Amino acid sequence: MANEFRRHVHGGFCFGIVQKGVRVINRGGTSTEIPEEGLFVINPGESHACKSLCGDHSYVTVCVEAENMKAIASQISEKACASPYFKDVLLHDLELSSEIRRFFSLVEMKSSVLETESLLLSFLSTLILRHGNGAPAPFRMGSQDAAIKRACEFMRMNYARDLSLKQLSREACLSPFYFQRLFIENTGVSPHDYLVQFRIKKARALLLEGHGIAGVALDTGFADQSHFTRSFKRVTGVTPGGYIRAIQPGFLANGVDAAPETLYEKIRR
């Protein structure tokens, strides 16, 4: 679409990426061209105008309240911090550009709350550390084995629910940012990946018992059969149908693979 917005302000931070064409953002009297796949940021209360340079143009944005950004900055350093400020409109960061594109894809696909929240928090915290003015120094994390074990147990007991990062961090009695970083440090995977792998473990057991694929998908917490099939193949290398066809008498005689537990082998039970 081709559009033009006269000078205005936002109450919160605005982060976006240009999908097609070129967008021009005028901030403080300086115009910046945002190319295709360019990542841009607008600070709250900052007067700006924007327009597209061509007819074939599209972009997507996500707005985050200033208080939420302030909270994330404080969680990074474990002390009170001011809301971050980004001096550049265009951010040259391929990793973050890729992350925010994936975030918008998850939103479009209506992925799980945990996966979407986790990716957004990762994006925002990395953004603050790399590009925020006066970015807080990361707090050095200590051992919180018991907290992570509680969260893992909570996920195993509630794997069919659409769990959120807030729920898991509350169970661990940690901030969402601190919890996510600590979980990855201790298990080697994100909370979302741990949950998905545990769900697939349960799904494999149900398929072995002869349950139908559609029913198994819903019983193990997946939004639909398509989402289940994608996740199953990503974890096992085959589709649920292919897995069923491959099963032979005596196959997995020693039980279903307990991958989620082995991911946690670094923590003593």
Distance between CA atoms of residues 171 and 167, nearest Å: 6
Q: Show the beta-strand stretches assigned E in the chain.
A: 4-8, 13-20, 23-27, 30-34, 39-42, 48-52, 58-64, 90-91
Fold classified for 144-269: Arc Repressor Mutant, subunit A (1.10.10)
Q: How confident is the model at residue 247 (pLDDT cuts 50, 70, 90)?
A: low
User: Which of 111, 102, 22, 85 is closest to 59 using CA atoms?
Assistant: 22
pLDDT tens track for 42-90? 998 887 888 888 777 889 999 898 888 988 888 876 656 778 899 899 9
Kindly report the average pLDDT of the chain as a whole number. 82
Domain residue limits, the chain: 4-131, 144-269
> How far is residue 268 CA from its own chain's centroid?
28
> How far is residue 248 CA from its own chain's centroid?
37
**CATH class, range 4-131:** mainly beta
Question: Is the pTM here over 0.85, yes or no?
Answer: no
